[in-house]
Structure 1
Amino acid sequence: MTPRYASTVELPRLDDLTLDRFAEDGYLVLPAFLPEGLVARLRPEADKWVDDGLRARSIASTTNPELYGLPPIMELELDAHGELIGHPPLMAVLSQLMGPSFVFHHLHSDRQAPGLAGKPWHHDYEQRPQAHRAYTMIHTLHYLDGLDEETSALAVLPGSHREVAEKDARARYGTAWLPGEVLIEDLPPGSTIVMHSALFHARRPRPGLPGKPRYLVDTSYCQAGTLWPPVKPYWRHMLRRGRELGLDRGLWPDLFDARHFAEYVKPA
């Protein structure tokens, strides 16, 4: 198959110190990681996703599939969002952190309103029940406009990805400061945070400020070798569309392979 996208971008190479830091802390900060042209195309797609009600319909199709069925469009069917999934520099980073075989898990895109409440401490590692951390799952958080004093900040708890804990084990703290946390609040446009999905983190608002929208695109991937729980009831359709659109660029045969997933189980 001919790759849909070509790339002449020089691919990043992580040194041993960076790899060790990710293993120890559970996250990497990559300032201005995405090219300006890609960011410029992602932003209006995120606006369309929110303003046309597509995000709301996607959520409805996930939480109540019996009533709503398949969403009319998925994030990966938006051109720039689909391109982002297999962005060559991102694939280069992920392959160094997880090895050559990994699968796409999901994509979320949002334009978060300035007054949006914070999100309590949690992690996003998909495992039922939470039992071990033998395999790596990674969330890549792409901040299209960066982070600054007019947006909510991201708090992370380095090293917490090595714990075996339920997603909401620290939710009782809300978005409060925790000992050892790192607050990420100043990033240029197009920055990416590569985060082990088991790392506890929180979205911390800045009350009393007028603020501005916070553009976030979250792409998630899982290391091959175990069966991962899907979070979308229509996950097979999503993976099939990824293959049909050539989003693996002909280079990553596992990226949309359904054999890496268990059956979908609706949350209780």
Structure 2
Amino acid sequence: MTTPIAPVVSAQQIDHFATHGYLVLPDLVPAATIQKLRVEADDLLDQRLAQMIATRSADPRVTWWRLPDGKPYVLKVKPVVDLSPTAAALADDSRLCGVVTDLLGAPDPTLMDNKLMYKRTIDIAAGWATLPVLGEEVRKHTDAAYYAARGYPRVLTVAVCLDPCTAAAGALRIWPGSHRRTIEMVPTLNQGPVVPDQDAPDEAAVTLVAAPGTVLIWDAALVHASGPNTSGHPRRLLVLGYSPTPAGGPR
């Protein structure tokens, strides 16, 4: 007789996710996998930057800008699963996908988004690049409308912490329960639609401090943000987006 595999998330955690819109799962990803992801994340970024410098042209996968002090700053590289074997394997990991299945309430979720978040200043000569000047803060926003416009009405965001995600490192801030109400979005010039303070007061936020190997999961409709990384250390995340597989199979 086959022994059934114990579920990763409990009924109480599923209820918490439905009510509050997020879940924190410590130690879900083994340390050896985290170390492989760190190496691949750094190699991947180094390769993209080297190509950009050599060609003096932007890479469409790299989201970057210039800080007020003039330094180039990389927020993310997207997509990455075709460039990082460990990220690809983790995105398809049965245990991780089992968590997503339980929280979505739908089998065989579709991976519809993937990226590496860096929050990192880079020491390269980039005078050739025309970049907006922005700060390090990721302002309050939700991703639901962005995904819905692309045909994904329900998305769960899964972030794997590769480094200590402390408040000083720009840990994720979330507004519990905000996924269950209508949220105003205000357009900005370079940072997309953001949520005004009256819809997400600072005092209502929760900062998700997490150790490497922790998996943070939130509903894409949840208001979230993050501050600058002032820790002096990396704060890398592998971020995966999953949606229920539509009738007829994956997109």
TM-score by length of 2: 0.70
1:196 aligns with 2:219: yes
Q: Amino acid of the residue matched to residue 228 of structure 2?
A: P
Distance (whole Å) between structure 1 residues aligned to residue 182 and residue 87 of structure 2: 32
Match of 1:37 among 27, 32, 53: 32
| Residues paired across the two proteins, number | 203
Q: Is the Cα contact below 8 Å between 1:120 and 1:173 reproduced in 2?
A: no
What is the correspondence of 1:19-58 to structure 2 with a 5 Å cutoff?
19-53=14-48, 57-58=59-60
Q: Does residue 1:219 correspond to 2:240, yes or no?
A: yes
Residues 48 and 194 (structure 1 numbering): CA distance in 2 closer, same or farther, change over 3 Å?
A: same
- Are the equivalent residues in 1 in contact too, given 2:169–2:231 (CA < 8 A)? no
The equivalent of 1:183 in structure 2 is 207
Q: RMSD over aligned Cα, in angstroms?
A: 3.2
Match of 1:85 among 87, 91, 101: 91
Letter in 1 for 2:13: T
Q: Is the Cα contact below 8 Å between 2:119 and 2:228 reproduced in 1?
A: no
Distance 2:185 2:242 in 1: 17
Structure 2 vs 1, CA of residues 40 and 183 (structure 1 numbering), >3 Å: closer, same or farther? same
* TM-score, normalised relative to structure 1: 0.66
CA distance in structure 2 between the partners assigned to 1:165 and 1:88 by the alignment: 34
The question of whether the paired residues in 1 share the 8 Å contact of 2:31 and 2:213 is answered with yes
- Name the % identity: 25
The match for 1:112 among 93, 113, 119 is 119
Shift of 1:177: 5.5
Distance 1:166 1:102 in 2: 29
Q: Is the 8 Å Cα contact of residues 114 and 210 (structure 1) preserved in structure 2?
A: no
- C-alpha contact 2:175 2:206 (8 A) present in aligned 1: yes
Give 5+ residue unaligned stretches, structure 1: 1-9, 62-72, 227-252, 259-268
Contact 2:185 2:196 in 1 (8 A): no
